[in-house]
Amino acid sequence: MDSSRRKFLKIAGISAVAGIGAPSALNMLMKNEVRASSEGGGHGAQTDAHGGEGAHGAAPAPAGKRYGMVIDAVKFHDNNGLAEKCIEACHSYFNVPDFGNKKDEIKWLWQMPFANTFPGDESHYKKDDRTHSMQFMVLCNHCDNPPCVRACPTKATFKNADGIVMMDFHRCIGCRFCMAACPYGARSFNWRDPRGSKDGVPFIKKINHEFPTRMRGVVEKCSFCDLRVKRGLQPLCVEATAGTGAMVFGDLNDPNSEVSQVLRARFTIQRKPSLGTMPSVFYII
Ligand code: SF4
Ligand code: SF4
Ligand code: SF4
C-alpha cells in the first residue's frame, strides 16, 4: 500500500470502507455531489449537443486539447460483428478479466439498448422501431466536468491535459466513491482477483504484458487509449472499425479535426447531457 492510501485511511478513520462496501451515508454524499454538479453545470439539453461553437457541452472558449469520440450507432447496427470486434480489441489488450457472471462483470466497452443508454429520451423516438432495436456502444464519456474526479479522495482518478479521465490503479483504495458519482455506470470494481481463475479457467484468457493487470479491490474503466493517443495512434476500438466510419476520434477543440467536422455536419446526441457532466462521447442515431 503506498503512502497516499495509508494517509487517507488514517485521516479518514474509515479503513473499514476501503475495501468493499462504502457506507450508504457516504454514498449519499457523493450523490449530492452529482446533484450539485447537475444544478451548477447545465450545459444544455440533448438538442444542444451538436450545434455551433461550444457545442460540446456549451463549454467556454476551448483551451488545450479535449479528446472525444463520435459513435455512429447505425453503422454498428448495419455491420454484424463489428461491436464484438471492438470490444475484443479493447478487452484483450487491456487485460479486462471475464469473471463469468454479470454481477462481477468488468466493462470498458460494451453495448446497451436505447432505453438504458439514453434514459428519458424513449418518448422522442417512440415510433422509430429501428432506433429502439439498436444496441449502443458505451464506454467512459471522459466528461469535461467529471463528477468521478471530484468524488475521488486519493486522486486515483483525474483528468489529464488532453481531457482524458485517467485511473492510477496504484492510488485506488477501492472506496468506490467514483462509481457512486458516475451517472453512466462506466466504472467497474474488481470484487475478485482478476489474475485468478475458476475451475482452472483463468479470468484473463491471455495476459498482455504491455499493460498491467489489476488486483482485487481496484476500480477500472476505459482509458481512451491515452498511451496510444500520445503516440499519434487511434484508440484500439476506433482502429477496429477502420473503413466503416463507425467511430471517429480526435481533438474536439481543433476545429479542423475529423471529429469536429463530423460534429458540425451531423446531428448527434450525448448521454444524459442535462446532468452537466459534458460527455466527450457523441452518438449519431
Ligand atoms: S463517464 Fe463516468 S467515469 Fe467517465 S468521466 Fe464521466 S463520470 Fe467519470
Ligand atoms: S478511483 Fe474510485 S475507488 Fe479508487 S480511490 Fe478514487 S474514488 Fe475510490
Ligand atoms: S478508447 Fe481504448 S480503452 Fe476506451 S473503449 Fe476504446 S479501446 Fe477500450
| DSSP string over 185-203 | ---EE-SS-TT-EETTEES
How many domains does the chain contain in total?
A: 1
Domain hosting 216: range is 3-284
| Cα 87 to ligand 3 centre (Å) | 8
pLDDT attached to residue 20: 39
Q: Tell me if residue 156 falls in helix, strand or coil.
A: coil
Cell of 48: 444542444
281 C-beta closer than 6 A to ligand 3? no
| Cα 176 to ligand 2 centre (Å) | 5
Nearest CA to ligand 1 atom 4: 140
Write the CATH number for 78: 3.30.70.20
From first to last of its 285 residues, the chain has per-residue pLDDT tens of 444 444 433 433 333 333 333 433 334 333 444 333 333 333 333 333 333 333 444 455 567 999 999 999 999 999 999 999 999 999 999 999 999 999 999 999 999 999 999 998 766 656 678 888 899 999 999 999 999 999 999 999 999 999 999 999 999 999 999 999 999 999 999 999 999 999 999 999 999 999 999 999 999 999 999 999 999 999 999 999 999 999 999 999 999 999 999 999 999 999 999 999 999 999 999
pTM of the predicted protein model: 0.82
pLDDT attached to residue 3: 46
Ligand nearest to the CA of 67: 3
Give the Cα separation of 191 and 215 in Å (integer).
Answer: 9
**Residue whose C-alpha is closest to residue 83's, from 226, 244, 276:** 244
CA dist 281 to 141, 208, 224, 235, Å?
5, 27, 11, 13
